[in-house]
Every structure is written in structure tokens, then in C-alpha cells.
Amino acid sequence: MDKGNSLPGHQAASQPAWGSGAGDDAESAGQDPYGTPPYGQPGPWAPAPPVQRPDPTPPAGTQLPPPAQGPAPQARSEGPRYDPWATPHGGTPVPQAHPAPQQPPAGRGRAGRLVAGAAVIALVAGVLGGGIGVYLEREGLFSEVRLPQATAGESPPPEGSIAGIAAEVLPGVVTLGGGTGFVLDDEGHILTNAHVVRPAAESGVIDVTFSSGDRAQAEVIGQDSGYDLAVVKVTGVSGLSPLPLGDSDAVRVGDPVVAIGAPFDLAGTVTSGIISATERPITAGGAEADGSDISYVNALQTDAPINPGNSGGPLVDGSGRVIGVNSAIRTADSGGLDPGQSGSVGLGFAIPVNQAKDVAEQLINTGRASHPVIGVTLDTGYPGDGARIGSASGGRAVEPGSPADEAGVEEGDVITAVDGEPVRGSDELIVKIRSHRPGDELELTIERDGDEISLPVTLGEAYSD
């Protein structure tokens, strides 16, 4: 985001503009000098219209000025008025038969009535107001609303629940590079995917962040692209939480599973699902021109959401034991397997932990891992079902002295099954062989010249460069 760029088309106005004639004199533009200017602009100054102040009304009891001077009215001559209470000439005052009643001062009766009326009105208003207030208070209109809410319990999550599994597993999960890993032992060994630590191949050092937020640097002990597995080690870190390893051979379709990782850098993300399939042959990688980054896995398939960043994280069973290492997803847009480029569509794949355990032990003990081989070259362009033995370069397709040579495999043979399980292509044959260990004996079903034969073969051993 660029910052500091001026807004296009913005320029300062030096004069306020009112009406359509911006900048012109208001009077010359025919505008009302007393009109209201546009909102936010100062109005023009104009002389106020002439006004008069009316004389104030005199207060009550104030003497009004005398009327205009004129000729004085003539006094009318009248005789003496009769005064019934006057003393008669030459006599004593006549006593009154009854004393005259005293009249209340003018206005006192009216004031009393007003006070009484006001008291009645106040009483009625108080009663009505109290009743209305009680009603409004009862309806909660005068008080803040408080909604009911259940309180969280103090007890730990039930054993075997997703919350319980997450609480047990999360302390042993770490983030590193662009992916995830998990602690194998108290010595600081951490298992992850090879494609997660590949960017650290030159330096051999990678940053690790634990669930507690503590950080440390780890040394890459070893990696194997063919299995897409790697082991790193941290030193000087105490309080590690190794995760227990389960048995991937005992996993059944439909078993509940939980995946933990850092999808899109969101560390500590927990997702759940089931095992959708077992022994699903997959190949992933292929970014390198020589194919050195291609991994062949007889994988566990799960619908637990796995996204970029989950790679190398644990797939655990209902008891919190690791049964697989999340490695690849199938994407709807690319139509292929991708170790970390697109979002989950419910097709995730994990390396079985039995295979991961064997490779991890080799990497920890020797720094490299061996692969089981039969010593043949496969014709990857063969269009039919099965894996055809053949070399595109014209060299020998069966290596002399190899397990395949000793078993009687010939160039042109098509391997259609391994231990009775169908083989549909060359990649699937490699996956099925890699799911075993050197020294294991397999039975190959071969089509040769229209006939079907079975050949036993003992797997040899090879190491990646």
C-alpha cells in the first residue's frame, strides 16, 4: 500500500463560493445579502433592518400618566348627602342593634380554593405517578437489562472429547518454517515433513515456536524426500511434552481423528474428522526437475480439514496418540496432490506413523533413511493397467544381482499385483514397495506373454543421495 500520495483532482479554494456565481460580488450577482450561505461558509455582512423597541408593559399598581390636559369639568352643586350613621344634630349617636360582620380581605377565599385544588391535583398526580412507576419498574423500563447466562464449569473436558484430546496434544505441537511438527522425546527431537525444512537445507538451522510461545533454534538432523519426512532437534529446552505414538496398522475406516497444526500461520489450530480410507497410494511434490522431491506414500486419507501450514503436524486418534503425519492434500483447482498451495476440500493425506517411526529412528541414529527396492526400471509411459518393466533409455531394465533379477523378473513383464493387491500403475507399485521394509518378502503377480505367474521377491535396501 503506497502512503503519502495526494488525492487526484484536489485543489485548495482561495475564495468562498456561494451560489452559482462563485467569486463574484454578492450584490452584483443578484443575490439576497440576507440569504443564508452554503453550510460551512461564512455569511456576508449586511446592515440590519430598522427596528423599534416597544414600550414595556407597566407593572401592576403602577400609576398611569394623567390624561391629556383640558378644561376642568365643572363641579355640580349638590346638597348634603344623607348619612345614616351620622350623629344627629344636637343628639347622641344611635347605638347599633347588631355589629356589622367583618368581611374577609378581597382575594383570600380564591387563594384558598387554589391551594386546595393544587393539593388535590398533587395527590392525584402522586398516586398516578406511583402506580405508573411501579408498572414501569416491574416491566424493566427503568433498569438495565441483564440476560441470563450459564456459568462455565471448573471440571476438565471429558476424556476422549475433541477438547480433551486438544488439551493433551497441543503442548507437544510446534510450528517451524512454513509448517508444523511435534515432539518425539525429551531429548528435543521433533518430527516434521521434509518439504517443511527444505528451505533451511543450506544453513541447517530452523526456528521453532512452542505452544507456550517460547522460541528456540533447531538443527536439522536428517531428511528424506522419498518419504517426505525430516527430524530436527532443539537443545537447552526443558519441559518438553513428547506425543505418544499409536499403531497405524490398527486404524480402521471411520475412526475419529484430530489434526493439529498451523494452517496459513494460524498456530494451534484444531480440526477433526474421520479416517476416510487406508493404504491410499499417493505421490506428492515434483517441483524439482529431477524428481528428487517426489514422495511416495501409502497414506491414511482423512476428511479432517488440512490446509497449507498443517504439513508435518500430527494426526491423532481418539486417545490422543499419533497415527499419522499430515503431509498432502488434494485440491479441486489443481486436480492433483499438493503439499501446501491450496485450501482443503476434505481430502487430506497423512504418512502412517508406523512408517514415520521407522524413518525417524533411522534419521536420528544415522542421519539418513534406507528405502526398500527390487532393482528394476519402470516404463512410466505404459498405458495399460499395471507397471511394465522397461527402460526408455535403452539400458537394462533389470539390474543384475538385484532382488528382481534373483526372483526371475524379466524386461517386458507387467506387474499387476503385490501380495494380491492390484497395481494400476508404476507410481502405485513404488508406493506399495515403499510401504514395507528392506528384507520383507513380497509376492509379485506378473503377466508375461499372455500368461500370469507369481514370483516371490525379497526387498533390497538403498539410500537416497
Burial of residue 313 (CB within 10 Å: 0-12, 13-18, 19+) is buried
User: Exposure string (b/e) for 386-401, b if CB count within 10 Å is 16 or more?
Assistant: bbbbbeeeeeebbbee
Averaged over successive runs of 10 residues, the pLDDT of the chain (465 residues) comes to: 42 40 43 50 44 42 50 50 51 51 58 74 75 68 79 81 96 95 97 93 88 95 94 95 97 98 95 97 84 90 95 97 95 61 84 97 95 94 94 88 96 96 94 94 96 97 82
Integer angstrom CA distances of residue 447 from 69, 386, 454: 149, 9, 9
- The yes-or-no answer on residue 195 being catalytic is yes
> What is the model's pLDDT at position 51?
40
Residue of 224, 228, 293, 317 marked active site: 228
C-alpha angle 154/160/161, rounded to 5°?
60
323-370 confidence digits (pLDDT tens):
999 999 988 765 556 555 567 889 999 999 999 999 999 999 999 999
Please pick, among 189, 195, 248, 426, the residue that the annotation labels catalytic: 195
Q: What is the pLDDT of residues 118-170, one digit of tens each?
A: 777 877 777 777 777 667 666 666 578 889 988 877 788 888 899 999 999 99
Closest by Cα among 342, 433, 349, 423 to 388: 423
Tens of pLDDT, residues 58-87: 444 445 455 555 555 454 545 555 555 555
Task: Give the active site residue among 248, 311, 344, 426.
Answer: 311
pLDDT of residue 219: 95
User: Whole-prediction pTM value?
Assistant: 0.68
Are the C-beta atoms of 177 and 195 separated by less than 8 Å?
no
414 touches 446 (CB < 8 A): yes
